[in-house]
Structure 1
Amino acid sequence: MGSVQDSPIPIDLPNLSAFPAALRGKRILLCTESFGPVNGVSRTTLMLVNHLRANGAIVAVVAPHNHTQQNLFIPSSATDQKTITSSLSPSTSDMSSSQNTTLRLPGYPLPYNPELSIVYPFLLSSLYKATFHPDLIYLASPASLGFQVLLQLRQQPPQNQVPVICNFQTDLAGYCAILFSPPLSALAVHAFASVQSFLFRHASVRCIFYPSRFVRRYLEAKGVQCDKMEILQRGVESARVFHPGRRSEAARRRIAPGGEVVLICVARLAAEKGFGFLADVARQLEARGLRFKLWIVGGNRNGVVEGEIKDMFAGLVERGVVVFAGMLVGEELATAYASADVFLHCSVTETFGLVVLESMASGVPVVARDEGGPSDIVQHGQSGFLVPPEDLDGFVEKVVLLAGDERLRRGLGEAARRQAEGETWERINNKVAWRMVDVIQKRETAVRMMGDGNGGDGGVRRMAMATTPVFGWLLLSNAFRARVVDMRLAGGIAVISGFWIVVGLYLALIKLGLWFSTRVRS
């Protein structure tokens, strides 16, 4: 097991400010669990898609049906050139030449987070018919959609195994540990970890981007090869959107008419975002006599879940100490960041924590629990403070320190702004583009060499050695080989369908529980 490094994969990246010309015209099938301005992960993916398309790459996006109409901030460059809603029926075969499309697959929205869906079982060949046969598959935060693609890809003969790049952005196992009740939580964590380990170690997966050391340690513990992993952090619109210049005294007077210190937390209202910890922080701050307003920005389309989070702050809201602003978007969100004095981040499941970087770009210092992505973003004592995850008293002490020292707040905020200015989306997305070129070119070289009988790329060669000799020794026909592949694909679909049935039953129980909770609350 190797030590944590930033980038163990050798590659010549001559200029990350330039887009690789060799990627223009290449066909990329990008599968993502959510797409559009829905959440931090999907916004990151949207930025990448827009960047690739704007520079001449052909990108077909495959994503679950969007069950939410939430309209968060969309950069001016964002376009969705063609959208297809499909159940992958045979009629989609005439669309094989479609370019820069967005294909929406049917699925079941998660009860606790309707922004995400579990995609119904589908055939990878149907995706190809509806879009094109790609040069590369990019899996953004793979879960139900990405796992199905990888499982089916593993069953293909070596010459049909399109190379894959994964971007690990969501800690599914961490979410399961919080959302599920024991012993189901332990079972779910084990299941996700086993599936990820099984799929990510396959030779078709050429690179796995990870956003923080926290994620790398997790992947290493699951046996994923170190030479596949490469760090990829996030960018922020620090020039046009998130900027200290958006600070509004009118907004501050509205939230804190008595001149109180304004603390802000931006997050979806859900259990895994650490709101129980935040409520304890607010109560301790009130007990210490600090004059403050806690401004909580975010919502949840599931009213029961949102209500449960708000109940954690019972009394604090009535006394006017905590203000729930709901979902803010666009300029309103940027103004909220810049108008606060201190940003509080209490989640311990974030693989990166884009809201932390957005706050820093707005010139607001951060106090965060030292777990997950924020540990790599916040420079302790320079752009904010990191506190051990379970140290409630230590967290409160840092908030009190910043609340009482305007000069310290200003100094840390300016340093946070300088740090965020260097994290541009162009450089980050160009890094992905260069990696795509590297993977595609290696695959093309390997295929040519295999055709010439000269071997080729190690991954392709290992796959060929694992399958071809058996057929050769037994003198089996090509038709029989195809039948074996079809049987393996059928087995993979059966596994997916069985898993979906089990998950579907559990989701039905959750829905029943939420319905019961609604009746009790009403």
Structure 2
Amino acid sequence: MRVAIVTESFLPSVNGVTTSVCRVLECLRDRGHEAVVLAPRPAPGSWAGYPVLGLTSVPVRQFPVGLPTGEVDAALAGFRPDVVHVASPFVLGAAALTATARRGVPSVAVYQTDVPSYLAQHAPGPVGRGAARAAWRWVRHVHGLADRTLAPSSAALAELAGHQVPRTALWTRGVDAATFHPSWRVDAGTRALRRALAPRGEVLVGYVGRLAPEKELPRLARLAGLAGTRVVVVGDGPSRTEDAALLAAAGLDVVFLGRRDGDDLARAYAALDVFVHTGTRETFGQTLQEAAASGLPVVAPARGGPLDLVDHSRTGLLFDPDSADGLRDAVAHLAGDRAKREALGRAGRARVERRSWAGVTDELLGHYAQVRTSRTAAR
């Protein structure tokens, strides 16, 4: 099968969209399919043996946003794909889906980024609500061009249905359970990191992810003064300076480790005792899976993607994000009970260790085949 993947985000930017696209490409390669990637510049010239076509972009909040030029249509026409996979469509994706609809090429759109909620957050009040309504109109239009929209969680599916987005289906995400593994805890580098972070045996409570307003990292301020704990933040992004200042002003004992990748990221997870997710606008929550694969109990808001990923009181704890004490109470409960932490961590690992990228890519190939068949039958 010839697959064109058009993505709003790609390397060197690292986020959930990029990770999903990279893992899918690796699995497509292993199964012998042909592919090409269309992504905003800057981008590497190739990935997983496939060509990557860098398209015109402009920087927005340290993030390259592709422009809907004629490059997209020309690239698709030149490659002649059997199916077009559009990752988190908004600008480049809209251009791609417009082209596929015009040419009659089967298409799959992956809904992964809750842009309307982000706009509402960045511009609170009437302006933000108006921007969110306009964004949902655009999302409905763009996804309406696709033969099928795939959403990563039941919450995302419900939201799409509530905004009359048609032809939706569930497609979750895999996790690299070999890279993220409890065995990293006995690694010399992990032990050294833990000694540096917890010299007095503190319980390490960690967040991993991009540092941006929509991640709601200031929620961690609720953990200030929690006896015997220290907060560790792994990641980088446009809100790092602001988040660090706010958390310091709240008196939180926090260490920022910056961005980590590969084995260093696996060590960072393994050095922790409790993983905390703060955002309420996640359509999924890939770091929750990575933490679980690392054998960590997870604490997350009872909203959005985490509802599918956290089995409350079995693999982690869900807290009410509208409660002033919800996050603190959940973390305090786990910080004071090592046996509970270890039991939840084991259960979390067992739940995700078979959720491979190979398996979810096979599901994706099934969706590709179905939209191709539907297009053929409609002719």
Instruction: Tell me if 1:237 matches 2:176.
Output: yes
Contact map agreement 1:244 1:362 (CA 8 A) in 2: yes
Q: Deviations over 1:236-264 (max 9, x none)?
A: 1112x101111133221100101111100
- Among 17, 33, 36, the residue aligned to 1:57: 33
> Is the CA contact (8 Å cut-off) linking 2:231 and 2:254 kept in structure 1?
yes
- 1:15-26, aligned counterparts within 5 Å? 26=1
1:251-262 matches, within 5 Å, as 251-262=193-204
Cross-structure match for 1:101 = 51
Distance 1:116 1:212 in 2: 26
Q: Which residue of 2 aligns with 1:48?
A: 24
Query: Offset at 1:183?
Result: 3.7
Counterparts of residues 132-211 of structure 1 (less than 5 Å): 132-154=79-101, 156=102, 160-202=103-145, 205-211=146-152
Aligned amino acid, residue 95 of structure 2:
Q
- Judging changes above 3 Å, is the alpha-carbon distance between structure 1 residues 315 and 189 closer, same or farther for their aligned structure 2 residues? closer
Superposition RMSD in Å: 2.0
Instruction: Check whether the contact 1:110–1:118 (CA below 8 A) recurs between aligned residues.
Output: no
Contact 1:29 1:136 in 2 (8 A): yes
2:157 to 199, 216, 226: 216
% identity of equivalent residues: 33
Cα distance in 2 for residues equivalent to 1:191 and 1:259: 50
Q: Distance in 2 between matches of 1:36 and 1:406?
A: 38
Give the corresponding residue for 1:511.
none
- Equivalent in 300, 303, 312 of residue 246 of structure 2: 312
| Equivalent residues of 1:209, 1:232 under 8 A apart | yes
- Residue 282 of structure 1 is matched in structure 2 by 223
> What whole-Å deviation, never above 9, does each CA across 1:334-371 have from its counterpart, x for those lacking one?
11111111111110111111000000000000111111
Is the contact between residue 89 and residue 142 of structure 2 (CA under 8 Å) also seen in structure 1? no
Residue of structure 2 equivalent to 1:292: 229
Task: Give the AA of the match of 1:150.
Answer: L
1:507 aligned partner: none
Q: Answer 1 or 2: which has greater strand percent.
A: 2
**SS at structure 1 position matched to 2:112:** coil
CA 1:197/1:315 → structure 2, altered by over 3 Å: closer, same or farther?
A: closer
Q: Which amino acid aligns with 1:291?
A: G
For residues 145 and 185 of structure 1, what CA distance do their matches in structure 2 show? Answer: 23
Conserved in 1, the CA contact under 8 Å of 2:274 and 2:298?
Answer: yes
- Residue 296 of structure 1 contacts residue 323 of structure 1 at CA under 8 Å; is this kept in 2? yes
Structure 2 partner of 1:265: 207
TM-score normalised by the chain length of structure 1: 0.68
* Cα deviations by residue, 1:203-230 (Å, 9 ceiling, x for unpaired): xx222111111111111011123xx222
Shift of 1:391: 1.6
Offset, 1:54 = 2.6
Q: Which residue is 2:67 aligned to?
A: 119
Identify if the C-alpha distance between structure 1 residues 407 and 124 changes in structure 2 by more than 3 Å, giving closer, same or farther.
closer
1:434 corresponds to: 366
Partners of 1:151 and 1:391 in 2: how far apart? 43
Q: Which residue of 2 aligns with 1:331?
A: 263
1:516 — aligned with what?
none
Render the CA deviation track for 1:233-291: whole Å, top value 9, x for unaligned: 1111112x101111133221100101111100112111110112122x222xx0xx511
Q: Cα distance, 1:394 vs. partner? A: 2.3
Q: Is the 8 A contact 1:264 1:342 kept in 2?
A: yes
Structure 1 unaligned runs (5+)?
1-25, 70-77, 82-99, 447-456, 461-522
Question: Following the alignment from structure 2 to structure 1, what is the Cα–Cα distance between the partners of residues 135 and 74?
Answer: 26
Q: Secondary structure at the match of 1:313?
A: helix
State how far apart, in whole Å, the 2-side matches of 1:270 and 1:200 are.
26
Q: Distance in 2 between matches of 1:213 and 1:324?
A: 33
SS of residue in 2 equivalent to 1:309: helix
Tell me, in whole angstroms, the C-alpha distance in 2 between the residues paired with 1:125 and 1:315. 50
Q: CA deviation at 1:128?
A: 2.9
CA spacing shift, 1:330–1:123, aligned 2, 3 Å: closer
CA distance in 1, matches of 2:47, 2:141: 36
Uncovered stretches (5+) of structure 2, i.e. residues with no partner: none
Q: Distance in 2 between matches of 1:127 and 1:214?
A: 34
Partner residue, 1:16: none
Classify 1:80/1:106 alpha carbon distance in 2 versus 1 (closer, same or farther; 3 Å): farther
TM-score (norm 2): 0.93
Q: Which has the larger radius of gyration?
A: 1
SS in structure 2 at match of 1:237: coil
1:235 aligned counterpart, secondary structure: coil
Letter in 2 for 1:307: T
